[in-house]
């Protein structure tokens, strides 16, 4: 949550920071602020609202500066407001700071500072940390860098902080624990960001700062240290990301662009790994752990939100193909239980961002208990990817729309490949079935393209159903998690109440909701459960509910039973979720648009949940 940007060098800092903040708005967008050091001294401009609102509000101000920091907020401590927006200024006035994360012991620190006479102008934990740093600097008569180090040793929680100091105009002090920080390196200048997007057009050389590291960033110098004041040699990596990948490319919204990218992203995910003709799956990040997975007593998938739904689909797939016991855990619950982790357990962490705080801590805990951790992650170099022993990137490219779409299908593609590989080595699937499924998987990009091509009617359905108050999403087997995902997409984007349920379980409660105004969305593609699903559809029809169904092309029975249908091509049930989810993503998108909502930035949400 929260996006941070910084710049120091010879260029105008403000345009770089504002453009960077717009790219990071997916991380939070309830307030925005920048601090610039220029001829007027250290100036702070901040405001409740999105980046564009701040930009409009400060036209005409002296924004010339060659050093600055900027912040786009997702509120944790204190409501979204001008005064809670970052940057915060220290009580002495010399320091300005932005922060992403939560300082858990801020109440105690605040009390200590209040006792010393500090008065706070905001409700944030950030202002507390900043004044705590200032107090240490004053008391110890030390450099800012030293004060930051001492302060951070007292802090519990997560943070990335960037600080500007009026007395050291061209220097940014940065530190990280538990939230991401990337530093772009170029000749005579440095860029800082929550991810690499703010610096893409300026440099491809980046340093991913690690936990408990502190950076002293000047135009022509980058010093990295640990909290023990030992120097660390920055590890400069080459970025493999193009500007076009983070732009809308003619689509109205990133979400729509990302839905339509799926044939390509699934293809990219399979490319170089799956060779159906040769009958091989090559995944270098898994290779070393093949034996452990094959012999695993249990696989535990940990994830949140959409990624958790991918884990649920994978549970069905792994149990079917590999005959390994699988548990799928919400990372937020798993980390605070005292889960039994035995030798021989394999943890698979699934995450688009690779920065979700709960998932990260869950795997850190499990790692300490001796489990093998594999990451199925989209963002290269992210914290979860780096914490995992091995794993596989999903290669879906940057996902900017807050609602996850292409990341989900890419996660399914990766997880299916792992399951197929392990099942084949273990001998729990026949050669024939293995070969068949490789072919089926290879055809998914083409079939996803077909699905999108035949999705024209979904916009009309959105108009028809947009005023419904509640929705029920039902599915069985592999399609049950797809129903959950469809309901989540609708809630996020359209602010409509939607519940996902196993279609059979519906009789044990939710059926009471059924009446003629209730749309019941069935994920009813042809699979082993199909006849049962048809019976469930009959039960809804008998109670006058509206049946909207995702069906397989040519399935007349389902079509006749439904009020409206969305069509996907025939596919093996193991790979079908990568197709059946697509119409549900589009339905949510079009309903959100029809209701006039900002689908790329739905209220209260942030793309990357870096607080627990």
Assess contact for 440 and 571: CB atoms under 8 A: yes
Per CB under 6 A, the segment of 72-80, 187-195, 303-311, 425-433 that binds ligand M6R is 303-311
Per CB under 6 A, the segment of 33-41, 97-105, 118-126, 298-306 that binds ligand M6R is 298-306
Active site residue 304: no
Question: What is the distance between the alpha carbons of residues 260 and 512, in angstroms, rounded to a whole number?
Answer: 37
β-bridge pairing 564-568 and 546-552:
parallel
Residues 324-353 that bind ligand M6R (CB under 6 A): 351-353
Assess contact for 561 and 533: CB atoms under 8 A: no
**Count of residues touching ligand M6R (by CB under 6 A):** 16
Per CB under 6 A, the segment of 172-180, 340-348, 396-404, 450-458 that binds ligand M6R is 396-404
Among 8, 306, 332, 394, binds ligand M6R (CB under 6 A): 306
Assess contact for 96 and 35: CB atoms under 8 A: yes
Which tokens is 2 given? Answer: 């929260």
Active site residue 457: no
Question: What is the distance between the alpha carbons of residues 347 and 98, in angstroms, rounded to a whole number?
Answer: 34
**Shortest Cβ 403–ligand M6R spacing (Å):** 4
Question: What is the distance between the alpha carbons of residues 387 and 366, in angstroms, rounded to a whole number?
Answer: 11
Among 128, 183, 304, 321, binds ligand M6R (CB under 6 A): 304
Q: Classify burial at 186, counting beta carbons within 10 Å of its beta carbon; exposed 0-12, middle 13-18, buried 19 or more.
A: middle
Among 42, 321, 396, 609, binds ligand M6R (CB under 6 A): 609
Assess contact for 101 and 611: CB atoms under 8 A: yes
Among 402, 458, 578, 611, binds ligand M6R (CB under 6 A): 402
Q: Does 356 bind ligand M6R (CB under 6 A)?
A: yes
For residue 458, the cross-strand partners are none
Q: Does 403 bind ligand M6R (CB under 6 A)?
A: yes
Q: Which residue has the tokens 């089926």?
A: 440
Q: Does 265 bind ligand M6R (CB under 6 A)?
A: no
Measured from the CB atom, the residue of 286 and 402 that comes closer to ligand M6R is: 402
Question: What is the distance between the alpha carbons of residues 400 and 537, in angstroms, rounded to a whole number?
Answer: 36
Measured from the CB atom, the residue of 351 and 388 that comes closer to ligand M6R is: 351
**Shortest Cβ 286–ligand M6R spacing (Å):** 19
**Shortest Cβ 308–ligand M6R spacing (Å):** 7
Assess contact for 163 and 151: CB atoms under 8 A: no
Question: Is 301 in a helix, a strand, or coil?
Answer: strand
Among 198, 263, 305, 390, binds ligand M6R (CB under 6 A): 305
**Shortest Cβ 585–ligand M6R spacing (Å):** 9
Measured from the CB atom, the residue of 33 and 481 that comes closer to ligand M6R is: 481
Which tokens is 417 given? Answer: 């490949």
Per CB under 6 A, the segment of 101-109, 293-301, 302-310, 416-424 that binds ligand M6R is 302-310
**Shortest Cβ 229–ligand M6R spacing (Å):** 33
Strand order in the sheet with 564-568: 497-502, 470-475, 519-524, 546-552, 564-568
**Shortest Cβ 100–ligand M6R spacing (Å):** 15
Query: What are φ and ψ of residue 153, in 5° steps?
Result: -70, -25
CA-CA-CA-CA dihedral for 338, 505, 351, 97, to nearest 10? -80
How many CB atoms neighbour CB 450 within 10 A?
A: 18
How many CB atoms neighbour CB 469 within 10 A?
A: 9
Residues 468-497 that bind ligand M6R (CB under 6 A): 488, 492
Question: Is 12 in a helix, a strand, or coil?
Answer: coil
Q: Does 359 bind ligand M6R (CB under 6 A)?
A: yes
Measured from the CB atom, the residue of 184 and 305 that comes closer to ligand M6R is: 305
Please enumerate in sequence order all residues whose Cβ is within 8 A of that of 230, keeping only pairs 6 or more positions apart, or say none: none
**Shortest Cβ 266–ligand M6R spacing (Å):** 17
Given 2, 269, 304, 322, the catalytic residue:
2
Measured from the CB atom, the residue of 33 and 354 that comes closer to ligand M6R is: 354
Q: Does 418 bind ligand M6R (CB under 6 A)?
A: no
**Shortest Cβ 404–ligand M6R spacing (Å):** 4
For residue 208, the cross-strand partners are 182
Q: Does 404 bind ligand M6R (CB under 6 A)?
A: yes
Question: Is 213 in a helix, a strand, or coil?
Answer: strand
User: Which residue, judged by CB position, is nearest to ligand M6R in the bound state?
Assistant: 305
Using CB under 6 A as the criterion, which residues of the chain lie in contact with ligand M6R when the complex forms? 304-307, 351-353, 356, 359, 402-404, 488, 492, 608-609
Catalytic center residues: 2, 607
């Amino acid at each position: 949550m929260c996006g941070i940007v910084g710049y120091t060098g010879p260029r105008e800092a403000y345009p770089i920071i504002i453009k960077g903040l717009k790219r990071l708005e997916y991380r939070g967008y309830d307030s925005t602020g920048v601090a610039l050091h220029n001829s007027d001294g250290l100036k702070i401009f901040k405001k409740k609202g999105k980046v564009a609102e701040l930009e409009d509000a400060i036209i005409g101000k002296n924004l010339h500066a060659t050093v600055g920091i900027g912040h786009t907020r997702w509120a944790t401590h204190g409501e979204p407001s001008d005064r809670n927006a970052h940057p915060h200024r220290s009580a002495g006035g010399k320091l300005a700071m932005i922060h992403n994360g939560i300082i858990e012991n801020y109440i105690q620190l605040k009390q200590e500072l209040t006792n010393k006479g500090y008065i706070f102008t905001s409700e944030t934990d950030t202002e507390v940390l900043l004044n705590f740093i200032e107090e240490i600097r004053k008391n110890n008569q030390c450099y800012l860098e030293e004060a930051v180090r001492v302060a951070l040793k007292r802090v519990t929680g997560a943070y990335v902080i960037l600080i500007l100091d009026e007395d050291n105009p061209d220097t940014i002090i940065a530190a990280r624990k538990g939230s991401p920080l990337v530093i772009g390196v170029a000749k005579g200048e440095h860029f800082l960001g929550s991810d690499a997007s703010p610096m893409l057009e300026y440099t491809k050389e980046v340093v991913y700062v690690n936990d408990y590291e502190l950076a002293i960033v000047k135009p022509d110098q980058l010093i990295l240290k640990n909290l023990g004041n030992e120097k660390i040699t920055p590890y400069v990596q080459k970025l493999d990301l193009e500007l076009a990948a983070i732009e809308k490319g003619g689509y109205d919204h990133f979400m729509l662009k990302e839905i339509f990218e799926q044939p390509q992203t699934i293809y990219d995910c399979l490319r170089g790994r799956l060779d159906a003709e040769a009958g091989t799956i090559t995944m270098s990040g898994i290779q070393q752990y093949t034996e452990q997975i094959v012999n695993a007593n249990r696989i535990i998938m940990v994830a949140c939100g959409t990624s958790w739904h991918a884990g649920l689909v994978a549970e069905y797939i792994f149990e079917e193909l590999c005959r390994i016991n699988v548990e799928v855990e919400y990372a937020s619950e798993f980390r605070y239980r005292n889960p039994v982790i035995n030798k021989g357990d394999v943890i698979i962490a699934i995450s688009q961002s690779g920065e979700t705080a709960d998932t990260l801590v869950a795997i850190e805990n499990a790692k300490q208990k001796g489990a093998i951790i594999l990451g199925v992650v989209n963002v290269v170099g992210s914290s979860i990817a780096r914490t995992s022993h091995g794993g596989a990137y999903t290669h879906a490219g940057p996902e900017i729309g807050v609602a996850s779409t292409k990341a989900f299908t890419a996660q399914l593609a990766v997880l299916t490949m792992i399951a197929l590989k392990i099942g084949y080595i273990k001998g729990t699937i026949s050669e024939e079935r293995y070969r068949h499924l490789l072919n089926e998987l290879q055809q998914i990009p083409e079939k996803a393209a077909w699905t999108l091509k035949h999705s024209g009617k979904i916009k009309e359905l959105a108009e028809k159903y947009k005023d419904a108050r509640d929705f029920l999403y039902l599915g069985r087997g592999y399609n049950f998690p797809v129903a959950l995902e469809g309901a989540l997409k609708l809630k996020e984007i359209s602010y409509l109440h939607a519940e996902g349920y196993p279609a059979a379980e519906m009789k044990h409660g939710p059926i009471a909701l059924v009446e003629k105004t209730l749309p019941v969305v069935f994920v009813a593609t042809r699979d082993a459960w199909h006849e049962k699903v048809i019976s469930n559809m009959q039960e809804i029809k008998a109670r006058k509910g509206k049946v909207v169904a995702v069906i397989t092309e040519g399935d007349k029975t389902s079509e006749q039973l439904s009020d409206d249908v969305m069509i996907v091509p025939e596919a093996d049930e193991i790979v079908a979720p990568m197709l059946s989810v697509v119409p549900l993503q589009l339905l949510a998108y079009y309903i959100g648009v029809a209701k006039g909502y900002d689908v790329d930035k739905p209220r209260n949400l942030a793309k990357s949940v870096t607080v627990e």
